[in-house]
Amino acid sequence: MNRKLLPLLILVFSSVITLAQETVDMAMMQKIKDEGRNHSQVTLIAHNLTDVCGPRLTNSPGYNCALDWVTQICNQWGLANAGREAWGEFGKGWSNEVGTLAMRSPYYESIIAYPVPWCKSTKKAKKCELVMLDQLDSANIDKLGDAIKGKIVMIKPGNTSMPDAFKAYATRFGDTSLDKLGEMYMVSRKQIEEFLPFIKREYYTRLYLAAKGAVGLVLSSRGSIDGTVFVDGGTGYKKGFEPTLPEMKIGREDYLKLMRLLKDNKKVELEMNVRNTFYDEDLTGYNVVAEIPGTDPNLKDQVVMLGGHLDSWAGGTGATDNAAGCVATLEAMRILKALNIQPRRTIRIALWGGEEQALYGSFGYVKKHFGDPADMNLKPEQAKISAYYNLDNGTGKIRGIFTQGNEAVREIFRSWLAPFTDMGANGGVTNSSTGSTDHMSFDAVGIPGFQFIQDPIEYETRTHHSNMDTYDHLSIEDLKQAAIVIAAFVYNTAQRNDMLPRKPLPAPAKFVFDFDFPI
């Protein structure tokens, strides 16, 4: 071979390659890598969404702060049409201003404790005796009778053992396991319907407990050990639901100690001080959107979407659930805008509200723009969206992607992951489905909706819905990698001659999370 031609041929084959009939612009993939590695704003985005805005319970001051900041930064980057978009009615916002719990007798000890969102305030610090119910139900409340009045209540734990400390909190997937990864986080409509009566009973039992004169309730959640407290909330945001009595979640070690003292017939007094604010001036729920407009005259009306949910619970600052997904998708948009790409299709980011309650923001958006799966009377926009890419499984790097049973995209996605094997995206493409997050809203109306496979890190063991869900539990390097991979997927989807293949349209059926809480 002519030595002078060799460098030219190498350049040609490294700039654009075809894998499994899918063209990948390798020069652009390298530009995306370079921009994401050398000019990342991941730490800036993460700091503002977590440290600055704080907890982002939907319709709370922290959530509104995040909506405003995302709009501002998207405008600063030069994205188009940035701002809030209403999706329907959510309900009341809530924030906690004071939340302290201490044992005052038989001795003083401060207790790590967090108020449950949408519970009432104590109005002032209340020093009360602690009593224990065998179960949280009306029969056990009646059994204690007047002994409940003026007391703080705890529930006898069913399991009094502590897990050992030999298993690491944080893990990563092995390189060979991802193609065979099974279903994750999938729930059925039947499971939801079976769970609703439990929610109703829990709600009315709390109201009954307050009616019998209880001052407050303390509980401990699964895995709440070693200073980690898992705390989410109830239904008090919804119109027609009363706030329940002051309630706090505490760590398991403190909870078991309180139980042992009571079983030993020691008098235990707790001091609870909970002050909360409800916000009902605007019950509307909002997402925030921004886009890079398409430029191809024939394709610019078609859309590629990406996103994650902006709301969080209130025990931490919602770093891994799900500022992480918002950080990575915002950074992906910044990368593409910084490279001044001229996408053939429009690229739109949407960060959702109300995900923690029932995927409200994304499902409201889907019903507004694309149609309702209950009747499958689809709107014109449904035919013009190529794909939606979601990130919402913590801070871990992207290792692959779930196809949601869309076999036709498997080899396409393998091709798109190939340039990033050196960054840990090892080509894991599983035909399994994952659920319980916002891509499901799109999938329900026949739009290709995907969630990436992420390394677990300590998502389920330490940070998910806990007080440890803070900036310092983010893996910044993993988020940089995730942003790069997402930017590449979005770019490739926007530039293809054809939209991504679709599964057959589903039959009309109510969305798995489309339900009313029973009152």
Q: Note down pLDDT in tens along the chain; length 519 residues.
A: 444 444 433 333 444 555 446 889 999 999 999 999 999 999 999 999 999 999 999 999 999 999 999 999 999 999 999 999 999 999 999 999 999 999 999 999 999 999 999 999 998 999 999 999 999 999 999 999 999 999 999 999 988 988 888 889 999 998 777 888 999 999 999 999 999 999 999 999 999 999 999 999 999 987 899 999 999 998 999 999 999 999 999 999 999 999 999 999 999 999 999 999 999 999 999 999 999 999 999 999 999 999 999 999 999 999 999 999 999 999 999 999 999 999 999 999 999 999 999 999 999 999 999 999 999 999 999 999 999 999 999 999 999 999 999 999 999 999 999 999 999 998 799 999 999 999 999 999 999 999 999 999 999 999 999 999 999 999 999 999 999 999 999 999 999 999 999 999 999 999 999 998 877
What residues does CATH 3.50.30.30 cover in the chain?
94-279
- For residue 310, give the nearest of 437, 436, 435 by alpha carbon: 437
Hey, what are 3's tokens?
Answer: 């030595």
What residue type is 196 in one-letter code?
Answer: L
Cis peptide before 7 (omega within 30 of 0): no
What residues does CATH 3.40.630.10 cover in the chain?
31-90+283-495
Do the Cβ atoms of 304 and 493 come closer than 8 Å? yes
Hey, what are 254's tokens?
Answer: 């403190």
Check residue 12 and give its pLDDT: 39
Check residue 164 and give its pLDDT: 82
What residue type is 158 in one-letter code?
Answer: G
Hey, what are 274's tokens?
Answer: 């909970």
Q: Which fold has domain 31-90+283-495?
A: Aminopeptidase (3.40.630)
Quote the CA–CA distance of 364 and 372 in Å, as a whole number. Answer: 9
Quote the CA–CA distance of 435 and 516 in Å, as a whole number. Answer: 20
Check residue 175 and give its pLDDT: 79
CATH of domain 94-279: 3.50.30.30
- Laid out side by side, the sheet with 303-309 consists of 80-89, 284-292, 346-352, 303-309, 385-390, 449-454, 398-402, 428-430
Nearest-5° Cα angle at 280, 277 to 281: 120
What pTM, to 2 d.p., does this model score? 0.95
Cis peptide before 298 (omega within 30 of 0): no
Check residue 387 and give its pLDDT: 98
Check residue 51 and give its pLDDT: 98
Hey, what are 384's tokens?
Answer: 């013009």
Quote the CA–CA distance of 36 and 281 in Å, as a whole number. Answer: 41
Do the Cβ atoms of 126 and 323 come closer than 8 Å? no
Quote the CA–CA distance of 470 and 222 in Å, as a whole number. Answer: 19
Quote the CA–CA distance of 358 and 235 in Å, as a whole number. Answer: 11
